[in-house]
Structure 1
Amino acid sequence: MLVEAVMTTDLVTCDVDATVREATARMLRNRVGSVVVTDGGTPAGILTESDVLHAGYATDDPLSSIPVREAASAPLVTVTPGATLRAATERMRSEGVKKLVVVDGVTPKGIVTTQDVVDNYAGIRREVHDLATDATGWSERSDDLRD
């Protein structure tokens, strides 16, 4: 199964010069757990709920006084739409992240999260089963040709 089949295409963004409060308002308004931080329209990082909590706790300042550029996670960890979910989950694991921004070159196309993987688990298992069944069928057909 490919990333493009499960990714969310409604990407919520905010400018690197915004405040954490402004970015948090976007998250709440759109009911998402992160915003992609852009610099001149180019993805530059991501601000997650965890980043907001950490910034508020670490600085003990109001969110309206914390710049997104200081609180966001960077560099941005990305994946392409044509990558497999297996490759995406491996990337999440190796990078220690729960969200990957889906890009085509430098153009953001969406986001894929661990929740997207969980939500599509049944389809992933079905695809693995189908591949295994096809592989067995090919093996049996090859044996028939040898006889």
Structure 2
Amino acid sequence: MQVRQIMSSPVVTVDVGATLRDAVGEMLDRGVGSVVVVDAGPVGIVTRTDALRETHRGDGSLSAVPVTRAMNRDLVTTTEKASVTSALEEMKRHEVKRLPVRDGVDLVGIVTVTDVARHQPQAVNEVRRHLGSGGWRG
């Protein structure tokens, strides 16, 4: 099975000049747990956990926090033609729960651990084991 068969599309994004308030608003409005930060292409990702962490750290308004301060710049991606198994291996290797999906330079979707578990039930126990270790990032 290929990533394109289970990914969500389109990806919820915010511009690199956005604030954390913008990012949280998009997550809430769209019912997702992350937004990909884009400039000419994807440059980072902000998850619910990242937003909570930054909110806890600061005393100011979310409108005053640039999304670039909260985002994870170590963006790990996959391709739509990659196998779901290889995407899961990338998630495990980099301890992330979400992989933006590219087709060349274009951002075409996002695949999550939940997507993998939903479409490949045999992988659920392995995913739970790694999630239970507490090592995976938002």
TM-score band w.r.t. shorter chain: 0.7 to 0.9
Counterpart of 1:20 in structure 2: which amino acid? L
- Residue 56 (structure 1) aligns with: 55
Q: Give the number of the structure whose residues are more often helix, by fraction.
A: 1
Residues 61-76 of structure 1 correspond to what in structure 2 (within 5 A)?
61-76=60-75
Matches within 5 A, 1:115-134: 115-122=114-121
Alignment of 1:68-147 (within 5 A): 68-122=67-121
Secondary structure of 2:73's partner?
coil
Dislocated runs of 4+, deviation >3 Å: none
Query: Any stretches of 5+ residues in structure 1 without a counterpart?
Result: 125-147
Displacement of 1:109 in angstroms is 0.5
Q: CA RMSD in A?
A: 1.6
Share of identical aligned residues, percent? 43
| CA displacement 1:83-103 (0-9 Å, x = unmatched) | 111100010011111000000
Whichever residue aligns with residue 7 of structure 1, its letter is M
Rounded to whole Å, the distance in 2 between the matches of 1:56 and 1:8 is 27
Q: Which runs of 5+ in 2 are unaligned?
A: 124-138
Q: Which residue of 2 aligns with 1:6?
A: 6
Map of 1:17 onto structure 2: 17
- For 2:122 and 2:85, the matched residues in 1 are separated by 13
Could you state the TM-score of these two structures normalised by the residue count of structure 2?
Answer: 0.84
Q: Report how many residues are paired.
A: 124
Amino acid at match of 1:73: N
1:24 deviation in Å? 0.6
AA at the equivalent of 2:25: A
Where does residue 38 of structure 1 map in the other structure?
Answer: 38
In 1, the alpha carbon distance for the partners of 2:45 and 2:71 equals 5
CA distance in 2, matches of 1:98, 1:85: 13
